Structure 1
């Protein structure tokens, strides 16, 4: 399962156009992103990528390629978000800007989070580490790692992400509002999760570090 999912994600990533693939897989310059971070990103995501708002994702320590690809998807419309699409468009972010922002935030130090509901987190831990064989849900750790660190290029970092944001994204995958997942991987998985399981996994992820 892990091997199959990894191949699917890698195939989806390399299915980008040659120009997109080059931008997303080459290194950016963090220093060149500083002005954009201050003027555009910091208000929602924090100057160091640690968001104080549960609705806005933490970006610190996230894979550079993942951040770059999400920005590209917002610009192309592959990932829907009126706010982010507006920001990317109104600020005329170039492919180099996106690459530099990815490099900047990936180099920041993520702050450890903590689960607020310990009982719910314990329930989520079981799913994160072992999945649910009865409903065909694979272990989250198979792709995102046992500590939620992710695998650069293929799978994003999840550790210490706001539970509210994680839950919102799982719901978006479930209802199809978010459809930029390679091979429909997350949409297929989310469709097998109950709302309670989504809440539990999100809670556990928020305390991972």
Structure 2
């Protein structure tokens, strides 16, 4: 089977989860291809006429960021990426760079970029601290019962693939980025998940680092 066709079938399924917009089952493949193509153009070239910077400059080729502070987005669930782009336009997830960028995107462009990223192949990450990753594995798979911290795997999946559309893919993510998000949830500076805010507040800095380290090696 043609690899490009498989990729766009994947986009189709994820776009369907994201919500309405496809006229019919017959129209879906062409619509998915069109959305992903438009998303690719925005991702790689932005729109200079509107001052829209290219996503690639921060998030890397095909969403495989090489900068620890910027998340890897390749293979992320389309509905989740779309939701985050919407959230960046509200007080729920304020960010000086992303809020500005998200507010410049139309509703359809948010979906287009999300569809493009969902179809990309994420590059494998790696855990570098074995001892920390071992603790992270324990928490990720079993939680912290005495403090009411649920196993991360119960929402994000055993392999970190996520569960559309509410729970994102975590596998291979930069540890620095994962830690930063947990800290933002803990400090209530990121307000778009009450569940994550509650859980993060029950975790120590070491436990956050451990989970982030373990997640980096998932595939």
Normalising by the smaller structure, the TM-score range is 0.7 to 0.9
What is aligned with 1:36?
A: 42
Q: What pairs up with 1:55-74 in 2 under 5 angstroms?
A: 55-74=69-88
Aligned partners of 1:41 and 1:47 also within 8 Å: no
Say if 1:26 and 1:157 are closer, same or farther in 2 by CA, change over 3 A: farther
Q: What pairs up with 1:1-209 in 2 under 5 angstroms?
A: 24-26=18-20, 29-39=35-45, 40-89=54-103, 92-181=104-193, 184-209=194-219
Local SS of the residue matching 2:61: coil
Aligned partners of 1:23 and 1:96 also within 8 Å: no
Higher relative contact order (CA 8 A, sep 6+): 1
**Which structure's CA Rg is the greater one?**
2
Q: Given the two structures, how large is their TM-score scaled by the length of structure 2?
A: 0.81
Of 27-36 and 170-179, more deviation after overlay is shown by 27-36
Tell me the CA shift for residue 88 of structure 1. Answer: 2.1
Aligned partners of 1:159 and 1:207 also within 8 Å: yes
Aligned partners of 2:17 and 2:165 also within 8 Å: no
Superposed CA offset, 1:148-193 (max 9, x none): 0000112100000000000000000000000011xx1000000110
Question: What is the total number of aligned residue pairs between the two structures?
Answer: 184
What is aligned with 1:7?
A: none
Tell me the CA shift for residue 24 of structure 1. Answer: 4.0
